[in-house]
Amino acid sequence: MSAGRAALRAEWVKIRTGRSTGWTLVLTFVLCVGLAVLLGLSMRGGFDRMDAGARANFDPVLVGFYGLLIGEIAFVAFGVLFVGSEYTSGMIRASLTAVPRRGVFYGAKMLTGALTASVFSLATGFATFFTAQAALGPHGVTLGSAGALRATLLACAHLTLMCLFAMGVAAIARGTALPLGIMIPLLFLDSQGLGNAPGIRTVAQYLPDQVGMVMMRAVPARPDAIDHRAFGPWTGLGVLVLWAAAAVVGGYLVLRRRDA
Amino acid sequence: MNRVIEVRNLSKRYGETVAVEDLSFTVRPGRVTGFLGPNGAGKSTTMRMILGLDRPTGGRALIDGEPFARLAEPLRRVGALLETTAAHGGRRARDHLRWLARSNRIPERRTAEVLRMTGLENVARRRVKGFSLGMGRRLGLAAALLGDPAVLLLDEPLNGLDPQGILWMRNLMRDLAAEGRTVFVSSHLMSEMALTADHLVVIAGGRLLADTTAAAFVAANSRAYVRIRTPEPERMRDALAGAGIAAVAAPDGALEAEGAEPARIGELAAAHGLVVHEVAARESSLEEAFMRLTGEAR
């Protein structure tokens, strides 16, 4: 048990002294909150020009969180770099010489990443909500309105789980280039509405970030809306937990089996 | 704690390629043990297997009777300097040592101590990315010494060091061994090991060639001969053969005769009226002995 605590402390020093930690987290926060301001202001002016259907489907909470789909790309980079740089720098050999039990090392790394990510996600999620609702002005809602608190908490959970997913993928790929090269373009494309495209939508709606779109809603999309999904926010949480768990477990199996 | 590294029937194959084959040897405390072999002989692979980084295909490597992965707080018992720099370029040297110290509950003051020991105190706040090869090696050594371990594994520690650095590292290794520690150090240069090691484990092609004291290795593998230069090598060779002395031609045309003193050869030349330009006693270098030994193993 003391070995686990010592390994956690070591990972905590790593996360604090790593060069990428600072800029990825600042960028994530700036993108999430900054886009919340832009989207809020834009919808505040655009609301009057919407037709009745669009107004009925209007979810001010979701509007505020659209920016997370872009901001989370930097957050994914944080997770990938925290784990993947162990391999690209060769540090993994020092890490496993210091903590040779691979399960202990991996557990400490994932737990440190997850705790850091969840604290940061909570701060970012709530800051994004309040900023967006303020920018929406008369169309904004408070945390007390129906579904708003749930949507905000699930938005935070979404960010944390995306980071954990990214950490697991980096452990599977044993590096940074492949996970960043695949995940960043995919997430960017996805944020443009891959989950809405007919045909691939049946499958694409279960992609990690698309699941987030459902989690972040205060009001479910109407059945005739283009972003209507076959599942609700809590199911969405479950799906995302499965994604993250699969990646984290996969990363462990790779670490346990391979030479360092 | 008996401070012994035991390698028992260790093997490592990558598909068809054999990196290490049925390797067995023991490394004991109180002396510097050189782990010698040409590049690609399997030295680094063996060291990584001792540290549990690579999984053996067969056999075991034990430290004080236990696999490395089973040791509690291993940095306090085994220090390792690996061939590649195992530090993240974006991290400051001091921070690299700090996380290592935390991982094994080593007091924070040790980081300052090992930075001073390795001459890195002035660059402690610099990022590792800007380090020269020699500074990187020093940082690796600082990491190895952090837990004040009784067993040290050093993979090519002299690589990238300037002559002063080499002398410093050599003395440090000898001092560490004199303190009763087990010092296991790999090198592909025989001449370096002849000056540093008390005991040698020699491998080539992943197989054990010799496990002996450095002095015994030198005695067994060095060759004494007499070098002769003459304008008439054929007649000289006949004269030598007549006296029962075997001689071979060196690449530069000189003759190399074994089993006779220079005086005897000079007398033979005079008796046959032969002109000689050089008659000199020589000993083949350790490097040659090592090349011959490892060359045969291929």
**Closest listed residue to residue B254, CA positions, set B227, B219, B216:** B227
Å from B230 to nearest chain A CA? 58
Inspect the interface and report whether the beta carbons of B91 and A17 lie closer than 8 Å. yes
Residues B23 and B121 in one domain: yes
Count of A-B CB contacts under 8 Å: 93
Inspect the interface and report whether the beta carbons of A17 and B75 lie closer than 8 Å. no
* Full domain range(s) for residue B290: 222-297
Residues B60 and B176 in one domain: yes
Any B CB within 8 A of A175 CB: no
Length of chain B: 298
- The tally of CA atoms less than 13 A away on the side-chain side of residue B200 is 28
Residues B190 and B272 in one domain: no
Residue A83 to residue B257: CA distance in whole angstroms: 63
CA distances for B31 relative to A35, A244, B62, B185, angstroms: 65, 51, 18, 11
Residue B266 to residue B162: CA distance in whole angstroms: 44
Beta strand extents in B196-275 (DSSP E only) = 199-204, 207-213, 224-229, 246-249, 255-258
Inspect the interface and report whether the beta carbons of B99 and A13 lie closer than 8 Å. yes
Is A36:A131 a contact under the CB 8 Å cutoff? yes
Give the range among A51-65, A134-148, B101-115 with minimum mean pLDDT. Answer: A51-65
Banded model confidence at residue B296, pLDDT cuts 50, 70, 90: low
Residues B119 and B69 in one domain: yes
Any B CB within 8 A of A13 CB: yes
Q: Which of A24, A97, A174, A255 to mutate to test the interface with B (most CBs of B within 10 A)?
A: A97
Classify residue A244 as exposed, middle or buried by CB count within 10 Å of its CB (0-12, 13-18, 19+): buried
Residues B203 and B271 in one domain: no
Residues B164 and B250 in one domain: no
Q: Are strands B182-187 and B224-229 parallel, antiparallel or unpaired?
A: unpaired
Write the CATH number for B263.
3.30.70
Q: Are strands B246-249 and B207-213 parallel, antiparallel or unpaired?
A: unpaired
Across the range A171-177, mean pLDDT stands at 95
Residues B278 and B157 in one domain: no
Write the CATH number for B14.
3.40.50.300
pLDDT the model gives residue A161: 97
pLDDT the model gives residue A195: 65
Across the range B93-104, mean pLDDT stands at 96
SS3 A121: helix
Residue B236 to residue B73: CA distance in whole angstroms: 68
Any B CB within 8 A of A3 CB: yes
Nearest CB among A6, A11, A96 relative to B105 is that of: A6
Question: Among all chains, which residue has been given the structure tokens 């832009």?
Answer: A38
Any B CB within 8 A of A230 CB: no
pLDDT at B184 over 60: yes
pLDDT at A253 over 70: yes
Length of chain A: 260
Inspect the interface and report whether the beta carbons of A2 and B68 lie closer than 8 Å. no
pLDDT the model gives residue B93: 95
User: Residues of A with CB below 8 A from B103's CB?
Assistant: 6-7, 9-10, 95, 98-99
Q: Rounded to the nearest 5°, which phi and psi values hold at B58?
A: -155, 160
pLDDT at B125 over 80: yes
Chain mean pLDDT for chain B: 91
Any B CB within 8 A of A49 CB: no
Residues B173 and B241 in one domain: no
Type of residue at A31: L
User: Residues of A with CB below 8 A from B86's CB?
Assistant: 89-94, 97
Q: Quick one: tokens of B273?
A: 């009226």
Banded model confidence at residue A15, pLDDT cuts 50, 70, 90: very high
Among residues B213, B237, B272, the one where a domain terminates is: B213
pLDDT the model gives residue B1: 59
Q: Quick one: tokens of B255?
A: 């003759």
Q: Which of B70, B95, B98, B103 to mutate to test the interface with A (most CBs of A within 10 A)?
A: B103
Give the range among A72-76, B93-97, B232-236 with minimum mean pLDDT. Answer: B232-236
Residues B181 and B98 in one domain: yes
- The tally of CA atoms less than 13 A away on the side-chain side of residue B216 is 9
More confident residue, B159 or B60: B60
Tell me how many domains chain B contains: 2
Residue A45 to residue A216: CA distance in whole angstroms: 22
More confident residue, A57 or A103: A103
Give long-range contacts, CB 8 A cutoff, 24+ apart: B215-224.
B218/B194, B218/B286, B218/B289, B221/B286, B221/B289, B221/B290, B221/B292, B221/B293, B222/B283, B222/B284, B222/B285, B222/B286, B222/B289, B223/B258, B223/B283, B223/B284, B223/B288, B223/B289, B224/B258, B224/B281, B224/B282, B224/B283
The torsion defined by the Cα of A142, A146, A151 and A152, in degrees rounded to 10, comes to: 30
pLDDT the model gives residue A52: 81
User: Residues of A with CB below 8 A from B88's CB?
Assistant: 18, 85, 89, 91
Nearest CB among B75, B90, B105 relative to A18 is that of: B90
- DSSP per-residue letters across B93-114: HHHHHHHHHHHTT--THHHHHH
SS3 B87: coil
pLDDT the model gives residue B297: 53
Inspect the interface and report whether the beta carbons of A96 and B53 lie closer than 8 Å. yes
Across the range B9-21, mean pLDDT stands at 93
The torsion defined by the Cα of A210, A214, A216 and A221, in degrees rounded to 10, comes to: 130
Among residues B180, B213, B246, the one where a domain terminates is: B213
**Closest listed residue to residue B137, CA positions, set B189, B89, B184, B83:** B83
CA distances for A92 relative to A89, A96, B111, angstroms: 8, 6, 20
Classify residue B176 as exposed, middle or buried by CB count within 10 Å of its CB (0-12, 13-18, 19+): buried
Residues B164 and B231 in one domain: no
First to last CA, chain B: 38
Q: Are strands B17-27 and B182-187 parallel, antiparallel or unpaired?
A: unpaired
Most confidently modeled of A54-68, A180-194, B117-131?
B117-131
Inspect the interface and report whether the beta carbons of A3 and B74 lie closer than 8 Å. no
Across the range A158-181, mean pLDDT stands at 95
Residues B29 and B88 in one domain: yes
**What percent of chain A stands above pLDDT 70?**
98
Among residues B193, B213, B233, the one where a domain terminates is: B213
Name every residue whose Cβ is closer than 8 Å to that of residue B78 and which is 6 or more positions away in sequence.
A97, B51, B63, B68, B71, B149, B151, B152, B153
pLDDT the model gives residue A27: 97
